[in-house]
Amino acid sequence: METIERVYREEFGRVVASLVRRFGDIDVAEDAAGEALLVALERWPRDGVPPNPGAWLTTTAARKAIDRIRRESHRDAKHRAAEMITDDTPHEPTGVVGDDRLRLVFTCCHPALAPEARVALTLRLLGGLTVAEIAHAFFVPETTMAQRITRAKRKIAGAHIPYRVPEPADLPARLGAVLAVVYLVFNEGYLATSGTATRDDLAAEAIRLGRMLRQLLPDDLEVRGLLALMLLTEARRPSRVAADGTLVPLPEQDRGGWSRPLIAEGHALVRECLAAGRPGRYQVMAAVNAVHTDAVTADETEWRSVVALYDQLLRLDPNPVVALNRAVAVAELDGPELALAIVDRLPPEQMTRYHAWHVTRADLLRRLGRSAEARAAYDAALALTDNPAETAYLTRRRDQLVSPPPGG
């Protein structure tokens, strides 16, 4: 069961993208992928996992899609498609990039869709994230997210939004959303929302898409910056989770386990961005990671540079998550008391639903010796995360707190 679920999540985006290309209907593709999973759950425990499970799922899902289209044969165009069982010809030209998943990303990031719907739909179709996982990432109720995704799919169908990579003149209108989606897919892979510590398949997929975007837009600095950011973050993956499954925070990681080739590639991209002198959000975040990965030990981190970069990032992207990350750096430079004051000024209506805010407060309160408040903050953070590695880490930190003496 666990193997089937893992394979399905890893292959979901590839299966859906292939079916969208073939049948031109997102709902048909998504439903057929789900039906293929049900068949796998019935057959694989009995017959064994096939040698190429991705191809098996794609073939099975295609048959399910054809069955559904035949049942709806009053839809003439799709009835004709159903008769061409072995014809993989797309319904229309698919653009200059021969990659189903990248085309799916651009389809979902069409400017006719609301920005939050673009990201949510792509995470659902490409990453195979559940609606609950996406809602958690956006700090909204699950019902709200389900409505956004449904409306987005209806909009694509109703407006006949094409399944293709747009022409060069149309790229700027969609690129921002595409980059945001790729980065969120990477984040879900690097530290999964729930169920497992990490999802290597999603992180690898995001980096693959980042490389393809750079080939498509070699002169775009934000594309370059995003790729650098993902590479420098991915370089730390081998040291991110301990042998016992507990998350290892950056200061405690074994830097000897970091991938030097990925760091070298990421640093080279950052230098290219800095030389251009046109900073953007992803370029600055990549530069922050370059500072971290340049330090031989945690104590050698140039925290003044990190704070200065976050100051620049706040000017480019003034949001409370950036301010929270800046506060973490301020704590190293100027102490936890000043950092806590910054953290506690952030908007509670957003931050109280964000587990990293509670984690940061817990650590700062712990360092200030305010154990009871730190314990409450750890409890709040634990209530908002389902990642097993992070849960284990936060539980350990909470349980290490020194309790005040009775009557103290």
Give residue 98's pLDDT.
58
| 240-293 per-position pLDDT tens digit | 999 999 999 999 999 999 999 999 999 999 999 999 999 999 999 999 999 999
Mean of pLDDT values over 190-216: 83
Burial of 210 (0-12, 13-18, 19+ CB in 10 A): buried
If one counts the domains in the chain, the total is 2
| pLDDT at residue 294 is higher than 80 | yes
**Which residue did the predictor score with more confidence, 43 or 133?**
43
Task: Tell me, yes or no, whether 115 and 71 share the same domain.
Answer: no
- Report yes or no on 288 lying in a domain: no
Buried b (16+ CB within 10 A) or exposed e, 84-106: eeeeeebbeebbebebbbbbbbb
Share of the chain above pLDDT 70, in %: 91
| Both tokens assigned to 14 | 């590839």
Contact assessment for residue 183 and residue 382, using Cβ atoms and an 8 Å cutoff: no
| 145-179 per-position pLDDT tens digit | 999 999 999 999 888 888 887 787 778 778 888 99
Give residue 11's pLDDT.
85
Query: Which residue reads 């009871």 in tokens?
Result: 372
Q: Tell me the pLDDT band of 97, cut-offs 50, 70 and 90.
A: low
Range of the domain at 17: 2-83
Give residue 407's pLDDT.
55
Task: Tell me, yes or no, whether 57 and 105 share the same domain.
Answer: no
| pLDDT at residue 371 is higher than 70 | yes
Domain boundary among 83, 107, 125: 83
Give residue 82's pLDDT.
47
The residue among 103, 277, 227 whose CA lies nearest residue 174 is: 103
- Report yes or no on 244 lying in a domain: no
- In this structure, how many other beta carbons lie within 10 angstroms of the beta carbon of residue 268? 11
Task: Tell me, yes or no, whether 40 and 104 share the same domain.
Answer: no
- Report yes or no on 231 lying in a domain: no
Task: Tell me, yes or no, whether 45 and 145 share the same domain.
Answer: no
Q: Tell me the pLDDT band of 76, cut-offs 50, 70 and 90.
A: low
Give residue 87's pLDDT.
43
Domain boundary among 182, 205, 228: 205
Q: Return the amino acid letter for 338.
A: L
Task: Tell me, yes or no, whether 77 and 132 share the same domain.
Answer: no
The residue among 128, 126, 104 whose CA lies nearest residue 196 is: 128
Task: Tell me, yes or no, whether 188 and 141 share the same domain.
Answer: yes
Q: How far apart are CA 156 and CA 98, in angstroms?
A: 21
Task: Tell me, yes or no, whether 24 and 77 share the same domain.
Answer: yes
- Report yes or no on 142 lying in a domain: yes
Rg (CA), the chain: 23
| 356-370 per-position pLDDT tens digit | 999 999 999 999 999
Domain boundary among 83, 112, 142: 83
| Both tokens assigned to 313 | 């990032």
- Report yes or no on 243 lying in a domain: no
- Report yes or no on 14 lying in a domain: yes
Task: Tell me, yes or no, whether 79 and 100 share the same domain.
Answer: no
